[in-house]
Amino acid sequence: MAKMAITVNGTEPKNVYPPFILGSSAAASGDEVIIFFCPGGAPAMVKGALEKLNEQAKALPDLEELYKGLISLGGRLLVCELAFDVHDFTEKDLIEGTEVVGATTFVAEAQGAQLTFSF
Amino acid sequence: MAVQKLNAIGLKCPQPILKVAAMLPQLSPGDTLEIEADCGSFPNDIKAWCTKTGKTLLMCTTDAEGKHSAQIQI
């Protein structure tokens, strides 16, 4: 099975739906999936953010369902620790299943990924 | 050799496949899973999923209203 590594650097639907759609598809097929939220994308991992995105993009699949599916299949959601310096939220505000890491950790974890995307 | 059913009508890609993957732990080798879905990409997606995960796609048909019915063997 393959490894997929994705970086997210925005909070609009165009930034957040693709990693969850591609990531959950890959996880469902047995791939290892790591999604890294840069400070620009980290607000999408704050509690309530996925619900708001769902309201903005009603024609797209249910983002919260994709998130739950991805997590249950072993997908990992990494949030860059620099996000807390840039935004006014803390680790406690993040949704369940996220891990706060530094860039070096993500780069080490993404090593060997055959599929990489950036949104 | 149980037969289980999954209703994925109304779910959009890739949710039907996610539901299939989520059911896997409840299934044993040799079991059959019957899936109904109306997402347009489902026939190709279930074929790709079976190929990648080593499951057998027994059949996949589409009726006049666009409802897909697939059977896979675990």
3-state DSSP assignment of residue A32: strand
A34 φ/ψ sector (left φ>0, alpha ψ -120 to 50, else beta): beta
Which residue of B11, B17, B18 is the best one to mutate when testing the A interface, meaning the one whose CB has the most A CBs within 10 A? B18
pLDDT tens profile B10-40? 999 999 999 999 999 999 999 999 999 999 9
| CB contact (8 A) between residue B18 and residue A29 | no
Point out the residue among A30, A69, A72 whose CB comes nearest to the CB of B53.
Answer: A30
Query: How many domains in chain A?
Result: 1
| CATH number, position A102 | 3.40.1260.10
The confidence band for A58, taking pLDDT boundaries of 50, 70 and 90, is: confident
Per-residue pLDDT, averaged over A42-55, amounts to 96
Instruction: Look up the CATH architecture of domain B3-73.
Output: 2-Layer Sandwich (3.30)
Q: Is the pLDDT of residue A47 over 90?
A: yes
| CB contacts, 8 Å: A60 with chain B | 12
Structure tokens at A44: 């999408």
CB pairs below 8 Å between A and B: how many? 46
Nearest CA in chain B to A72: B22
**Extents of the domains making up chain B:** 3-73
Q: For chain A, what is the mean pLDDT?
A: 96
For residue A103, the enclosing domain spans 3-118
Q: DSSP letters of A48-72? A: THHHHHHHH-TTS--HHHHHHHHHH
